[in-house]
Amino acid sequence: MKFAILSHVQHFKKNAMLWAYSPYVNEMNLWLQQVDVLRVVAPESKHTFVESENILQPYQHDNLVLETIPSIDFLNFKNTLTSLFQLPIILYKIFSACLWADHIQLRCPGNIGLLGCLVQILFPWKQKTAKYAGNWDPKAKQPLSYRLQKWILNNRFLTRNMQVLVYGDWPGVTKNIVPFFTASYAESEKTALHKRTYSDCIRFVFVGSLSPNKNPMKSLEWVYQLQEKHELTVRLDFYGDGSERDKLSDFIRKKKLETIVKLHGNQPKEVLKKAYQVADFLLLPSQSEGWPKAVAEAMFWGAIPIVSSVSCVPWMLDFGKRGLFFETDVNKTTERFISLIKNPDALQKMAELAANWSRNYTLERFELEIKKLLKPQSL
């Protein structure tokens, strides 16, 4: 099978290998087990390659080619003008890859995904998948380009022979919209859950980019209030990096929290796994999500998520039976948490429900579903 990926993800070349963002590549390597020849249409980063197993991973395939295209955006007049001049060559390379491929995969949402959505209309007979990694919620407030991608993908006249993989089960979608998931752990990793008492020191973990969208400061301030106002003994570990790190460091220093709050930076999978196993709760008050991988991973190990009610998260948490939500009024979140922490049996039950749900979505099941998606079918 000749397989083409159309993506906005930045790629790097080093040691005769093609590298990109770890979660994306780890997923794609599972798809590529079924692929003979691969062509990736994506930007090649101009930044210096820093080989870090915590952030980047190489594709595992012996027969692949990167068709380099420019990165484009329309955030200001200069970038818009430059991007418009670059569109012809990008469209030509996307068209050529689609013409060449037996199976086309779009990675959405993104500017390259939008161009792919438009070009794929010209290939109604080709087998295609689209991975929509963002929020498919029809009611979500999103940029015009995102809404346009969703409209094209949901239109069976324009989009044929394509299965569109989305996170969550949403009303009003067409036959080609397939509720999907992602996976991190194998069946063999289903070991017994760590016994939690929810007393003494309550352990929180934050896993994700330290960016405004993920609201790491909201997590830190909330845990600080639990300690100061409610006199709880707490510990909070941050795993990830980003623009908010300095702000977090300043808060930790000013409030003298060095003994209870740690910034670990980006860490490999095994380190995160151990962190989930001993944590009582995962904090992730994001503004937006697709499939929040950290939430599913934490649930796998019985760490109860305390997260924003966005995208498919309410469905993942069974609307509060498998975790807690950060309310707009943070005081309500605190009241709910304080009442639960006094009932360890209820928390233990919640942790078990979370783990039982997450352990349905293993790597073995993921690979099986991928094989089904690559079988020829007409939609």
Taking alpha carbons only, the member of 72, 15, 5, 73 closest to residue 49 is: 15
Q: CATH no. for residue 147?
A: 3.40.50
Q: Does a structural domain hold residue 378?
A: no
Range of 174's domain? 2-183+363-373
Report which secondary-structure segment, H or E, holds 271.
helix 269-278
DSSP letters along 191-259, please? Answer: PPPPP----SEEEEEEES--SGGG-HHHHHHHHHHHHHTT--EEEEEEE--STTHHHHHHHHHHTT-TT
Cα separation, 101 vs 106, whole angstroms: 12
Taking alpha carbons only, the member of 288, 234, 296 closest to residue 261 is: 234
Is the domain of 198 the same as that of 178? no
Is the domain of 218 the same as that of 140? no
Residues 223-243 have a mean pLDDT of 95
Cα separation, 215 vs 176, whole angstroms: 34
Count other Cβ atoms within 10 Å, centred on residue 259: 8
Neighbour order of strands in the sheet with 12-14: 12-14, 17-21, 56-58
Q: Does a structural domain hold residue 379?
A: no
- What does the block give as tokens for 205? 């973990």
Angle between helices 344-358 and 330-341 (to 10 degrees): 110
| pLDDT greater than 60 at residue 51 | no
Average pLDDT, the chain: 93
Residues 336-353 have a mean pLDDT of 96
Count other Cβ atoms within 10 Å, centred on residue 145: 16
Is the domain of 347 the same as that of 205? yes
Is the domain of 325 the same as that of 271? yes
pLDDT at 291: 85
pLDDT at 73: 85
Is the domain of 136 the same as that of 269? no
Is the domain of 199 the same as that of 333? yes
| pLDDT greater than 80 at residue 379 | no
* Those residues with Cβ within 8 angstroms of residue 210's Cβ, 6 or more apart along the chain or in another chain: 216, 238, 240, 241, 242, 243, 244, 245, 248
